[in-house]
Each structure stands twice: as structure tokens, then as C-alpha cells.
Structure 1
């Protein structure tokens, strides 16, 4: 009930009156008899309890910044009473390792900095609210991670990489089984190669609907690389590794403006911070690599892969390299989206 409402606090009272208070008044006027009589007062109590439960779940199972250190790392901790019952401290929300949960939630979070449109948070809280158990565990971490990964796949397949994007509300609240997510309005008989072609077009510059496509790939790369030290930060600039506005451009001089130019393909794109974009935007790849390595400022794991392609090697970032990198990244993404098998 509660989590179907939006996150805009200015609409809270209006939505409460429309979706919670009004139905109870309507049922009373129709003399609807229920086992537990629904009244405005009972609805208010139910609503307040739902708010408290949601806040408790948010505090325990949603990432926060650790402001006690200078790094401000993402954490997934809960406040716990000490043995003396007087002092309290923060501990991991789950007994086992929760790094995957921290990484995926932070990947979502930095992709949508605007509070009112954190649809991922709505989806995660909706699941946690429904599955919270009143015991020492609260939520099963394995099932929790599995569901959030399913949410990520759902947003990718039904919102960001499809010809007909589905509504967030429909994805979150009307998906019967998140483990059976597929493209909307897509022929189920399509081969992996056809699916790859469809995905490619929504990963091209100016076709990208949400920067989560980069952060989701970084999450998959992080898992593929056996979880290296990496933190998701606010990066919002989509950068061409080979610059699109180079005056003496020789590589794309004949096909810079054609529809399928590799210049604007996913293989030539990376996600960096706005300040870094201002610094290196028009530099050639070798100059960018030198700056990234000297400053130790590599904003993403995809960018790190691009740097490794030419760093310390007698190789140049050309069309062949761009196409190869794109195919490698698409293969990892398609496996993460369950569109191809591990051995394919």
C-alpha cells in the first residue's frame, strides 16, 4: 500500500487522501461489511505503521554513506545495541558478506541522483517490505540480492534497451515473476545475434536512456574481475574515448556522420565525471590514458578496460579496437541479462 506512493513529500497528503483515506470512506458509505471494519481511523493507523516499518527497513537494508571516515564509502549497516544495553554501534546488516548488495545498490543510486525519481529504491523497498521477517535475520541476503539483480535486469530489458519502454510502475508492481524477465514486445525466437543488434542501438550515443546501462555493466565487470577495489561515484558525462570534435580527425573523416559510425558506438563510450569531461574531452586516447594513469583517476571499470587495450602496448585506439571492445562488453552484458549462456 504505502510504497505504491511516490517519493515526493509535497504529494504525501494528497496521495494519502486519494488512495488510502477516500477508499475507506467509500466503503463506509456503501455499508461494506468486513471482518475488520475499515474506518478513516484504522486507515490512519495502518498508514502510520507502514511508514514506521518502511523507515526501519530503509535504515537497515538500504545503503548509506559512512561519514565517519574521509572516504565516505557506501555501507550497508544497521544500528545495534551493545551488550550493556546502554551503548549502540553499527554492524553489517547481514551476517555474511554484503559487498554485492552494496555495489548494486550504489550503482542504482548514482544513476538517479534526483530523489523524486528513484524508482529502483521504490522497487527494492517494496520487496523488502513484503518479505521482512520479524526475527533476528529480517531479510534473507541471498534472496534479497537475487531480487535486486532481477530488478536491474527488468529495468534494462523493459525500460532502457527495448523498442517500447515499459512504465516503471508496471515493472515494479505488476511483474508476476522477476526471474522470468524478458524484452517487452520482442519475438521470443530471436537469436542472441539479433538481440545483440537490438541492444546495440540503445547503447549508442544520444540513444542512451539512462546512465545505469554503464553502471550496470561496471557491476558485472566488478563481479567478472573477482571484485576489485572500486566505488561507484556520481558520474554523469558520457565521454567519447576517441573524441568526436577533433579538428584534424583522420580516423572518422569519411564516416563521422553516418548512422552506424563506430564513433558513437558503445565501444567508444565511457562514463566519467563532469569535471573530468571538461579536462579531457577533446584529447586523443593516448593523451587521455596518460592523464588517467598519472592522476590515478579512472572513473569506471569499463574505462579501465579501454585503457588496458592500449596502455603500455604498441596499439592504437582505432576502429578495430573499438569494435572488439564493444563486442567484449556486449557479451558480458548479455550474460548478465541472461540472454546467452556462459559457454556461448
Structure 2
């Protein structure tokens, strides 16, 4: 779609890719209201609208079936829901981190991309949204060095997790933080593998304090983005 939309930006295309990869093929319902909006508005405010649609359709407290919720945006493009606070979405508790919905990882990557781009960071130069299906535990579930074992309530939190390809996950195995950090910097740094991991491997160690700090920082970045989009949309929606 981005190729046929005149005046589309790389950020707009990246957001479309984020939604495409984070949703099941049978539930790409966001496409219909987006196409309707583009036809009616000649692409004006298209990127902001897609941010609005993503936040309110896929990142809200609404519990009606997705197909029914989508219809609301065909009636009123700027329809709003109660957007889900990241303190809820990123503090979900699962018995295993691999159960974490991939959407939250993909969405955070987009948020971090925008933040790094605003700072002219070289880390976004090669960044792309690609298919990823493996949740990596930075502190592994079965570390080789037993003193690196951490409690399950910390092990499976969003702060200790990242979404990567299966091949990257296999590389990391059960190595400790220092070994994983060295592998990442040698093989993947600046190559768009995971912006979340780029942040994580800036640390000199990875213990309870660092995990919790990173976790809370990601929640903060998430909520800042949600708030900023909402504020911009209020100035346009009628």
C-alpha cells in the first residue's frame, strides 16, 4: 500500500509493516478503515491517522470482537476508545515469557525507532520491520552459570524479553549476559535486529536493578508515545 500512496513517508510504511507482522493474516482489519481514510482525505494526515487507528483499535481496553470494533472507524474515522496504559499491557504476568503477545514487542520497536530517529541515531539506518517469532530471555531460563538464576517473576517480565528471529535466539542459547552482549555487538549491533536489545546491551551488567529500570523505561516510552499521538489527534478530529 505504501508504494501506491503518493507522498507516503518511510515512517508511514514502517507503521504499516509493524501492523502487518503483528497481526494474524485473517485479522488485518485495520486495512479497511485506512483505505477508506486515504480515499476520502487524499493522504492528508495519513500517518497520524494510522497511529490513531492502531492505538484505539488494537491497543485499547475495548473488548468487543475486532471485526465489530473496526466498523466504528468506518462510521467515524477519529473514533476513540480508552487506550490501554502500558503499566497494564507491559506488566502482564505469564507463566512463561514466550506467551507474551508479539504485538507489544513490535509496537515498542516502532516507538523506539521514532525516538532514536528524532535523535539522528545511526541505529535506525538499517532498521526494518521483519517477521520474528521467537521471544528471547536476556537472562536465560536455564543459565549455564547458576549464580545468574533469577526469580520467575523477574525472568518472564517484559523488561527481560525481546522478540527476535529463531536464528538469533538459537545463537544466544543459555549464555550469560556478558557473553550474549559480546555476541550481539559483534554480529548484530546497528543491523536492526532489535532496538530493544540495543538498549539492553548498553548496560554493563544485567541484574535485578537493570532489568527493572529497563522495564520501567519501556513503559514510560510507550505511554509518552500514546499520549503524544492522542494530543495531536485532538487537534484534527472533529
TM above 0.5? yes
Query: What is the RMSD of the two structures over their aligned residues, measured on CA atoms?
Result: 2.8
Give the alignment's TM-score, normalised by structure 1.
0.57
1:124-273 aligned within 5 A:
124-129=31-36, 131-133=38-40, 139-142=42-45, 144-158=46-60, 162=61, 165-175=63-73, 176=76, 178=78, 180-183=80-83, 195-202=85-92, 205=97, 208=100, 210-226=101-117, 228-229=124-125, 230-252=127-149, 255-256=151-152, 261-273=153-165
Q: What TM-score comes out, normalization by structure 2 length?
A: 0.79
Match of 1:316 among 205, 212, 216: 205
Q: May I ask how many residue pairs the two structures share in their alignment?
A: 219
Please state which structure has a larger fraction of its residues in helix.
2
Higher relative contact order (CA 8 A, sep 6+): 2
Distance 1:168 1:203, change over 3 A: farther
**Contact 1:237 1:272 (8 Å CA) reproduced:** yes
Mapped to 1, the partners of 2:86 and 2:33 lie a distance apart of 32
Matches of 2:192 and 2:50 in 1, distance apart? Answer: 26
Q: Name stretches of at least 5 consecutive residues in structure 2 with no aligned partner.
A: 119-123, 232-238
Mapping of 1:286-297 within 5 angstroms?
A: 286-296=178-188
CA contact (8 A) 1:128 1:139 kept: no
Gapped runs of 5+ residues in structure 1? 1-61, 63-75, 79-92, 185-194, 310-314
Q: 1:173 to 1:279 in 2, by over 3 A?
A: same
